[in-house]
Amino acid sequence: MELHTISRRVVVTGLGVVTAVGHDVATFWANLVAGQGGVRRITLFDPAAFSCQIGAEVRGWDASAHMDPKEVRRNDRFTHFGFVAAKQAFVDSGLDMNREDGDRVGVVIGSGIGGMYTYESQLKVLAERGPRKVSPFTIPSLIGNMCSGLVAIEYGARGPNFGVVSACATGTHALGEAAHMIRRGDADVMIAGGSEAAITPFAYASFCAMKAMSTRNDSPETACRPFERGREGFVMGEGAGVLVLEALEHARARGARIYCELLGYAATCDAFHITQPDPEGKGLSMAMRRALASAQVAPDAIDYINAHGTSTPYNDKFETLAIKKVFGDHSRKVPISSTKSMTGHLLGAAGGIESVVAVKTIETQTLAPTINLQEPDPECDLDYVPNVARAAKVTTVLSNNLGFGGQNASVIFRAL
C-alpha cells in the first residue's frame, strides 16, 4: 500500500503523565508493573444516585503546586492535567527554549470532551445567580484547544497549535498528526498527547444512561476487567499523557536522550455506528494494516500490542477479531495487554497515556499486565498478559485506540 513518503524520522524525547496510578512517569510505571489499579469509589461528587459510583480519580491532586494559582483558577481541570503532563515531558526532554526557534516548536494536545467542570459549574451559576455572574473565563476554560494554547504560552511555542477532538482516539490522533507535521517539515519539535477530566455528575449521568459503564460498585478494584468473561462496562479515568516528539536530526544535534522512534501511524473510520465498533473489525483492521505499512514493518515484527481494551462486551471481542485478521498466526504469539484495567478509561487522554506505556515497555523490556483477568471470554482467546507483569524482548510496539463515531487510530513505536 502506497502511503505518505516519510521525509524525516520522528523520535520521542520526553514523557509526562498524570493519572490515578501516579502523578509522574516513574510512579505511574512502577504501579502498572506492580498491577496496582487506581479505581475506587468516586469522591469528586456524591455518586449515591448513579448506577455507576466508581472511577479512577487523580487523588491527592493540587494543581497549584505545579502551575500559577491564577492560571489554576482560570482554567479547567482537564487543562491542569494536560499542562502538568506537558511540563513533565518538556523537562524530561531537556529542551531549552533559549536555544530553540519558537517558530519551529508546536503543540497538539487534544481532549475528547474538554472542560466539563467549567461547563457544569457555570451552568449552575447561570441558573442560580443569573447571567451577570457567569465567569468571563468560561469559554476559554471549557474549549478543548485551551490546554494546547496554555502550553504554547508557557514555552513560547509559536508553531502549529490546535486541539484534536475524536472521542477516545483523540490522544493517538494528536500524536500521529504531530508526527506528520515534523515529517513534512512544519516543525522540528511537537508537544503532543491528550488530557481529560470527565468525572462529573453530568458526564456520569450521560454515560450511565447509555449503560456503558460498569456497575460493579461493591468491588471497584476489580470492576475494570478487559477480555474477561464477566466484563460489563468501562470505568472512567481522568488525567493526561503527553510526549515530546522531535525530528531525529534535531534531537541528535542537541544531544538529546532518545527513547525510541515513532515509526508508523494511521487513522480510519468504521462508518458503521455512532457508538458500537464494526462487528467485523474492518476499520480497526485497516488502521493497523496502514500503520504497519507506514512503518514499513511486517505484522510479525510487532513484539507487543497495547490494546484499546475497554472492558466493554463489544469492544474487547471486536478488537480481538481485528488483531486476528491483521496478525494471523502471529496473533497467538504476540503479547497484548490493556492497561485500562488499572488506569480506567481516560477517553481523549487514553492514547497519550498508552503511548507512554508503549515507550516505557521498550525502555524497560517489561510488559504491564491486564489485571482482573481470571476467566477469559472464550471469544477473547489471545495472550493478554494476565494479572502479572512479564519480562520480554521488545523492539516494536503497536498501540490501538477507538472512539465513538467509529474513529480508529493505531501508532507504532520502535527502538532505535
Q: Which residues pair with 195 in a beta bridge?
A: 240
On whether the CB atoms of residues 32 and 342 are closer than 8 A, the answer is yes
Q: Which residues pair with 220 in a beta bridge?
A: none
Q: Rounded to an integer, what distance in angstroms lies between the CA atom of residue 249 and that of residue 120?
A: 46
Instruction: Compute the radius of gyration of the chain from its Cα atoms.
Output: 20
Phi then psi for residue 65, to 5 deg, are -75, -10
Phi then psi for residue 113, to 5 deg, are -120, -35
**Element housing 397 (H / E):** strand 396-403
Instruction: Supply 59's cell numbers.
Output: 487523588
Q: Rounded to an integer, what distance in angstroms lies between the CA atom of residue 235 and that of residue 252?
A: 41
Which are the contacts of 221, defined by CB distance < 8 A and separation ≥ 6? 37, 39, 40, 372
Find, among 353, 305, 331, 283, the residue nearest to 81 by Cα. 353
- DSSP string for 368-384: PPBTT-SSB-TT--S--
Cα-Cα-Cα-Cα torsion 36, 39, 45, 50, nearest 10 degrees, comes to -170
Helices 25-33 & 350-364 angle (0-180, nearest 10) = 70
Q: Rounded to an integer, what distance in angstroms lies between the CA atom of residue 146 and that of residue 6?
A: 30
Residue bearing cell 510479525:
300
Instruction: Supply 351's cell numbers.
Output: 492514547
Instruction: Please identify every residue annotated as catalytic.
Output: 168, 308, 345
Find, among 401, 344, 343, 390, the residue nearest to 368 by Cα. 390
